[in-house]
Amino acid sequence: MSGALLAAGYPLTVSNRSPGKAEVLAARGAGVVPSPARLAESGDVILTSLADDEAFESVAAEAIAAARPGTVLVDLSTVSPAAS
């Protein structure tokens, strides 16, 4: 999804729990920040795509705690209904 957003010309800033995975997107023009909190401090819309409940809950909690009023969090993760 990130690649498609970049290809369509949208500005994009990313964070990844495995920092090396963001390098491909950085090479294509994405900004990279070290944490979900840093991402949430400047983003209007945050998309998450995480592997499990634990990962989503951790990332979402950090992002929500740092988000500005009006920030939208869109979860695209494969998680249980209880975690969504």
The pLDDT tens digits for 17-57 are 888 889 999 999 999 999 999 999 988 999 999 999 999 99
Q: For the chain, give every domain's residue range.
A: 1-34, 37-84
Predicted TM-score (pTM) above 0.75: yes
Sequential DSSP letters for 13-53 = EE--SSGGGGHHHHHTT-EE-SSHHHHHHH-SEEEE--SSH
In sequence order, what are the beta bridge partners of 72? 45
Q: What percent of the chain has pLDDT over 70?
A: 100
